[in-house]
Amino acid sequence: MDRKEDSLHDLMGVLHKVYDHGIKVEKINIYDTEKVVEVPTCDVTYRIHVIPSLSEKPPPSDELPDLRSKPDEDPFAEPFAPAEFLTDLDEGYHSLLNKFCFLPEQFVLVSHRWAVQADPLEVEDLWAAWRVLKAMEKAGRRGFVFVNVGKLSGASQPHRHIQPPAQPHVLPLPYVHFFTPLPGTSKHHQPAPSTSTATSSSTPSLSSSTSSSSSSSPSSLSTPSDPTTTPSQEITPATLQEIYETHLGQFESHGAQPESEGVRSHNVLLTLRGLHTIPRKSRDVEVPVPAHLKNLLIKKAEEEKEKKQKEEGKDDDEDDEEIEIEDKLKFSINGLGFVGYFFMKPGCDRLLKEFGLDNVLKRVGYERKE
């Protein structure tokens, strides 16, 4: 495929073609979803994707990732295979198909130059994300962009990258946190004012921007019944940078502590309506496993083990190691969790549903101070 500079005018069309090609030549690893479990709360409906192949994935390491050192093998470095390259952006980004897809047609924006995922975003990063959102809108697809910044954010790769799932954002954001509606966004599409009822509900609240235009409660993202939400005023790179830097400047007053490099880990969510940031206090959450669910998890693990043995033509007696489940299970949460997306092995959907997904996010993000 020819590499045309800044061909965002047909980004979604190119994405569809490259994705289909990658499937045909088996260059994409797809984590097939067995079922989607919807978990409604007072303010949001979460979606847990149950993925059997995650049964083989080990729990998160206690060691946090090194997001500053350039790896010997950088998965985001050139040359790119035809089955993954999409297009180039003027802002110094390549767009690539994600070779490990949890959602259909997942792709990433990767910086041309070496930049680290541990540092706050620069104006070029924000503007590249915004222009991709507009390209999605032009193609009739509402999406969002998320970025994991810092070692507590859920980031795993050190090379600077931005993730714009080409998915409709049918969920309202689960949290009140730093949110600023973009200039020109109509009042109809801004979050409702914060109320004591909202902040005392089962959905916990995260740190919220204190600017007069954005003291607000959870933002409802566009749903299929909503019109496309586009600010009536032109958005510039300086607009996005000012909002983002304002949020970063308010982190400390809400309790966010810097890490060893002086960076406060956070997740960034950008939609056509506003910029959201979530300061992080932990990458992982440990969830206690009650006895009745421990038995369920063992059963599910045994079923997946037996299924794999049959696929590989092995006898059941070849691997008779007893499956054990710890008293607590650890889960790593990145930016997708704050848009209501969770990807779990069988059985863990029940565990998290009983523990409460609101509680999961509350454990890893700083709560808002009234």
Q: Is this structure's pTM higher than 0.85?
A: no
Please list the helix, strand and coil fractions of the chain in percent, rounded to the nearest 5, in that order: 30, 20, 50
Q: How far apart are CA 142 and CA 230, in angstroms?
A: 10
Chain mean pLDDT for the chain: 79
Q: How far apart are CA 185 and CA 312, in angstroms?
A: 55
DSSP code of residue 257: P
Q: Cα 322 from chain centroid?
A: 34
Q: What is the mean pLDDT of residues 217-230?
A: 35
Among residues 15, 47, 18, 53, which one has the least CA distance to residue 32? Answer: 53
pLDDT of residue 179: 80
3-class SS string, 27-70:
CCEECCCCEEEEEECCCCEEEEEECHHHHHCCCCCCCCCCCCCC
Q: What is the mean pLDDT of residues 229-250?
A: 84
CA atoms within 13 Å, Cβ hemisphere of 343? 18
Report whether pLDDT(83) > 70. Answer: yes
Between residues 24 and 190, the one the model is more confident about: 24
Look-up: residue for tokens 């590249």?
A: 128
Q: Which amino acid is at 203?
A: T
Residue 306 binned pLDDT confidence (cut-offs 50, 70, 90) = confident
Give yes or no for a contact between 323 and 305, defined as CB atoms under 8 angstroms apart. yes
Question: Could you tell me the domains of the chain?
Answer: 11-184+236-286+328-364 (3.30.428.70)
pLDDT digits (tens, 9 = 90+) for 125-159: 999 999 999 998 888 888 899 999 999 999 999 99
Give yes or no for a contact between 46 and 342, defined as CB atoms under 8 angstroms apart. yes
Residue 26 binned pLDDT confidence (cut-offs 50, 70, 90) = confident
Between residues 186 and 120, the one the model is more confident about: 120
Spell out the long-range contacts of 77-82 with Cβ–Cβ below 8 A and sequence spacing 24 or more: 77/159, 81/27, 82/1, 82/18, 82/21
Q: Is 358 exposed, middle or buried (0-12, 13-18, 19+ CB in 10 A)?
A: buried
Give yes or no for a contact between 289 and 328, defined as CB atoms under 8 angstroms apart. yes
Buried b (16+ CB within 10 A) or exposed e, 335-356: bbbbbbbbbbbbbbbbbbbebb
Q: How far apart are CA 235 and CA 237, in angstroms?
A: 7
Residue 184: count of CB within 10 angstroms of its CB: 12
